[in-house]
Structure 1
């Protein structure tokens, strides 16, 4: 079973919801004026979404006598007078809708309820599915109420997907049309079509001249890429081409959806200006722990443990002293720079406020390094092996002395004393190696334990509080960049 594709309205509504939630998440970490403007813009988009974005609004615009209303009837294939619903006039806008109600939209557009008709409501089936979603407007004649019509066009323009200018073949060069309308709408050139109507009243030999002359005028209006259709609402000539243009526009995303998408993009761009391009990652806690250990003198203490254990005589390792607060603060500040350096000031301040403060962090680090007990410096096994070796050496030497006294010659290598001396020396060397290995192991274990405890401090005092701020930043960034 195929899952239906999300509709533009659903997609935009979800995006509005996501951005709204992101603004709540960001809170005062974005400037108040940026948040206020974004919320106002979102309210406007929400209001427009309520009207629906699946409608394609097409407006027929023209002057008195252009046959605009006849073209309206030809496109809708309805004679309003015959169905007894409405009859287009030159003073008020009229509308015909295809494929469902658009009452809220028509209310917003200011189309009187008596000037509306639903295409399918007057028929016995949905026979024009390619035009489903179309809202066709017949606007008042621009030359009969020019002043009022200008205001109407201005109000409706942001909602109109296609402007169809219906021209009289005798009056297409009208100055009012070109100077007050067409030249003022060059920014909408991609959403315009010019229909020269009533060509049935013109000799066929003159059609090419009319087309060429209209093209010349449009080029002067900086509308050279606007399509020109020669048509007759009376005979039906060219009406199919106009309907094909309607179908083409309907197949594309509506201007309402494009406009709202652009507005949401603009909101995201402004909010995104208060964010870092990417959410920074936390440095490894072990790295920070190593810095704290160094600032606390732990490597020197661990080295003293190694020397003490490896030594032969009685010795003691260095005591752990409370670290200098300035060195611990320097590590904390370095961590904040690494994590928050790329963040805007408000986010950086929020990060600094969320993690442990200088005093609390110093106290925790100081307590941690002094609480880890130092390992013992005596290696009992190595000591026993060494003592045993020394005893063997002593016994071997004594055996040699006894043999020398008995023979009068100092010869002990073959008396058994020599073997004892050698064995004793081997034991002494073995004990030395044992002490060395034990020294490294205890020193390393002590250093690892302190590092582990400090890593836990970093995780609890810095990383965990920071994760909330960074997660918020990532959430807002995600909502404003997708």
Structure 2
């Protein structure tokens, strides 16, 4: 076996494995059979070349067999036994038993030959391919794919027989290099009639794609053309190229069939622009908008509690925390260790699921455009293979995303400290005012009054604390509101990134893998051909 043929066989093997469950099973099975047959043929054949003589009833095939082999093993004419088994004659020192067992040829003869030109030749006499016995035709059909070279014996009356051309010659056009068509009974024709018959037969063969098949004429009765045919066989045995040529033709046929299953279009390239609409559909279906809204509300709630006026913001503590309600607060140490693995986001509604299904359908349509049905179905299965678990994966991704709840809250502590300073000022100013009001009654008369900016100090503390606290709370509320919007946008990006990772892993990666499989199958078939 040549190095090139070995590479083609390896490429065909790769194409077969890549095409399983995607191309037509019978096509893949035939290609796999070629690989198996090539392996077995190399094991059993050794240096033997197997040549089969096939022909129709009355073509003189058995007489031709005896003339070519120089034996009388084949029984010709009406005495020929009606058997469904083929007969083999081998030249050499011993019969190639393993090879004949593999061919399942029970009738076998050995012609001792050490230096004969036919040494290592195995010549088969096949039953008539047009026999009325089904078993005869089955034997021919079984052995035709196994032999290295085929010699078709035809006669002047039936060389254009439709049964021969439509059932065997035309389908075997790829094997023309290892086929010889012999027009027998040439002794019955005048020279001009023989020339016309040969010209007509050559035209038929050429029209059927058998232009490379050798055409010869012979008379098995008087021996005309027999030495020339024997010389062709001797040369085939000497070259030892028939096995490789036959295997190469098998590989070509199998590769062409697989190529038809792969389609003629170029493997689609997944457009990454389709990723964003799909990510958006997945984000909507998994509750990202609700999570973003929860983050915005939580930021406002917590920011208000941190920076609001302490005398009134205690009421906000009774409001539920949206992030905790959605189980998205990773900073809450009181949650169980597994709490972040699931959220409390609601399931997708009919509208969200419809959008998601449309997004998946558009992805599959774009990725399978131009692919044959089996490969398109594989792309669809790849895109929807994890669909049952997709929502759980998305929920887990959202729950595990770092929403950075404490980022950007540093100024809250400064405002809170100022609020407490102003709170202390209000308390001190209030107590001081009460003390001044009730001091005479308590016997503390004559206390001096302290003025700040021409105002009593206690009034400055009280009024300034209240006004400053309210003003600071108002300004902080504005800052918290602006920060909430910014935080919501940032969290939306974070969650979309988490959703995009799930999209890539669960949807796009399997589709890309399937497309790459088709691409590699096309390359393997191209190399095999």
Alignment TM-score, normalising by the size of structure 1: 0.52
Q: CA deviation at 1:52?
A: 2.0
Matched, 1:111 2:152: no
Candidates 388, 397, 403, aligned match of 1:353: 388
SS in 1 for 2:124: strand
SS in 2 for 1:355: helix
Q: Deviations over 1:57-102 (max 9, x none)?
A: 53234644885235533xxxxx56xxxxx95554552244799996
| 2:17 match | 18
Q: How does 1:443-462 map to 2 (within 5 A)?
A: 447-448=489-490, 451-452=493-494, 454-456=496-498, 458-459=500-501, 462=503
Q: CA deviation at 1:352?
A: 0.9
CA RMSD of aligned residues (A): 6.4
Q: Which ranges in structure 1 are unaligned for 5 or more consecutive residues?
A: 74-78, 81-85, 383-438
Q: CA deviation at 1:156?
A: 3.0
Kept in 2: contact 1:286–1:451 (CA 8 A): no
Candidates 52, 70, 73, aligned match of 1:59: 52
Q: C-alpha separation between the residues in 1 aligned to 2:129 and 2:364?
A: 60
Matched, 1:373 2:406: yes
Candidates 56, 64, 71, aligned match of 1:68: 64
Q: C-alpha separation between the residues in 2 aligned to 1:334 and 1:180?
A: 54
Candidates 189, 203, 211, aligned match of 2:195: 211
SS in 2 for 1:115: strand
SS in 2 for 1:137: strand
How many positions carry a matched residue from both structures? 385
Kept in 2: contact 1:58–1:163 (CA 8 A): yes
Q: Which ranges in structure 2 are unaligned for 5 or more consecutive residues?
A: 81-85, 314-320, 327-344, 368-375, 416-480, 525-529
Q: How does 1:386-401 map to 2 (within 5 A)?
A: none
Candidates 117, 142, 151, aligned match of 1:164: 151
Q: C-alpha separation between the residues in 2 aligned to 1:220 and 1:133?
A: 33
Q: C-alpha separation between the residues in 2 aligned to 1:353 and 1:99?
A: 68
Q: C-alpha separation between the residues in 2 aligned to 1:101 and 1:13?
A: 33
Q: C-alpha separation between the residues in 1 aligned to 2:120 and 2:485?
A: 79
Structure of higher RCO (CA pairs closer than 8 Å, 6+ residues apart)? 2
Change (3 A) 1:57 1:12: farther
Kept in 2: contact 1:61–1:139 (CA 8 A): yes
Change (3 A) 1:70 1:445: same
Q: CA deviation at 1:451?
A: 2.9
Q: C-alpha separation between the residues in 1 aligned to 2:512 and 2:145?
A: 38
Change (3 A) 1:473 1:366: same
Alignment TM-score, normalising by the size of structure 2: 0.48
